[in-house]
Amino acid sequence: MKLYSTLDRKIVDIVPIKQGELSIYSCGPTVYFRMHLGNLRAYVNWDILHRALLYLGYDVKRVMNITDVGHMSSTDDFGSDFGEDKMDKQAIQEGIQPIDIANKYTDTVLDDFRSLNILAPNGSEIPKDLTHENIQEYGWSRATEYIQQIIDIVKKIEANGYTYETKQAVYFDVTKIPEYTIFTGQQLSEKEIGVREEVEVDDEKKNPADFVLWMKRVGKYKDHIMNWPSPWGDGFPGWHIECTAMGTSILGEHFDIHTGGIDHIPVHHTNERAQNIGTFGHPVVKYWIHNEWLLNKDEDKLSKSKGGAYTLPEIILLGFDPLDVRYFFVSINYKTKVKFSLEALEGAKNSRLSLLRRVQELGKKQGTVIPEYVERFKHELENNLNMSGVLALINELLKSNNPKENILSTIYDFDKVLRLNLNSEIVKEENVDSEIEGILKQREEARLNKNFLESDRLRDLILSKGYKVLDTPNGQTLEKI
């Protein structure tokens, strides 16, 4: 397997620490709001990686964190430790406790992952009844359940001489790490701190880039809702230390791959790498793999603040299927920036439906997979997840002179990685019984009248009868489940 290594700044051969096994830590969501498509791109990208590695025969041990405390809103070049706590801020806005915010939005993460056919970190399909209450057994780890491990890690870093303490916090002294800026090569002097009025700087802080390991419940944070006792006083963990504690507690002090978005490179992953060295005396992660951004119409990073960052439910209300979104992300390499628009998503929808129809035309009889195409499929996966090559290969296979039943079996085999539900069936409306036809017509009227609640109710009713409704430019189409 070849992937782009951020530290090496090139595509490299991935050589596992243990032959045939790969350990992966994936930076997961901060659960204070519903994720938008810009957030979801990363998780589809890494699902493709996960499924590809399983397809290629690797034993994959993977974990994904859930950040439910300590993630501050960034206010400067260093990702300020003294911004607003995202969990507390949202809890105040919604009038509920921070842990209830975390539980609420963890459940929406599970909903979105299920809709997008994203595997749980442990490699299982996500059960329909899985909620925040029992996600740990499926490979997720919540920061609030690793507080003791976080404190233990901070104590190790302190004992190794990498910290100092002020009245407000325990800091990591970045000058103790000669390679601190290895990811970016940027000089610390090039950065600014305190560039916004709301940034509160600790006067006892030695260096602008030093970051918090443990925030004390004093000053600005004296009323912080989520807090725990520690050797340094009541408080809560910094954002970066959570990943070091969870990753190494579960995967050990050496693991293969750490995934995340490129926005994590200059601060979060730089600090996490420093913590790893401060704890164990050596780097922990062998390969840091990052995905590129989804861009808005102005070619800036897609974000809530700049508009156009649709959530998955909003996209569904606009008539798209979640698998249209998956197809859109699957068709683009994880290292490629891509501009998002509804028109681009419409193109992905049309391509997906066209592929479904072509597969359906092969019939239902299955044969055997075609070894030549399987080997070429593996080659494209191993070539830095060359998904455009995969789709071109499928197109070639569909045009080939191989027996239809063998083509069908081979495409179904490829769909173990793509997970576009290529074995589903688009049903012509004239072949559907009159009851379904009647409900479908009612739904069309509801949509024309912009009665989306009724439209959704009827869609769910049709779903209960074994069909999924696809809203296409040419009207409603049914897909048999």
Q: Cα–chain-centroid distance for residue 357? A: 30
CA distance 207 to 192: 11
Task: Determine the 3-state secondary structure of 179 from DSSP.
Answer: coil
Residue 272 marked in a binding site: yes
* 292 and 336 Cβ atoms separated by less than 8 Å: yes
Cite the DSSP H helix spans in 383-451: 387-399, 404-418, 434-448
Pairing mode of beta strands 211-216, 169-172:
antiparallel
Strands (E) across 264-384 are located at 285-291, 294-295, 338-339
Please state the separation of Cα 174 from the chain's center in Å.
28
- Sign of the Cα torsion 363, 367, 372, 374 reads positive
Which phi-psi region, left, alpha or beta, contains residue 450 (left: φ > 0; alpha: ψ -120 to 50)?
left
Between the alpha carbon of residue 187 and those of residues 167, 191, 268, 367, 368, the distances in Å are 28, 8, 16, 60, 57
Task: State the chain's maximal CA–CA distance in angstroms.
Answer: 75
268 has binding-site annotation: yes
User: What string of DSSP letters covers 18-68?
Assistant: STTEEEEEE---B-SS--BHHHHHHHHHHHHHHHHHHHTT-EEEEEEEEB-
- In whole angstroms, what is the distance from residue 448 CA to residue 470 CA? 16
**Rg, the chain, Cα only:** 24
**CA distances, 211 to each of 7, 34, 87, 208, 405 (Å):** 21, 27, 19, 8, 59
Euclidean distance between CA atoms 257 and 45, whole angstroms: 14
Closest listed residue to residue 31, CA positions, set 146, 96, 110: 110
Place of tokens 């499928």: 394
- 243 annotated to a ligand binding site: yes
Give the CA distances from residue 462 to residues 139, 319, 322, 479, in Å, rounded to whole numbers and listed in that order: 33, 15, 17, 10
- Cα–Cα separations (whole angstroms), residue 153 to 454, 465, 475: 52, 53, 57
Decide if 397 contacts 410 (C-beta within 8 A). yes
Residue positions forming the annotated binding site? 27, 243, 268, 272, 304
* Known binding residues for ATP: 304
Annotated binding site for Zn(2+): which residue ranges?
A: 27, 243, 268, 272
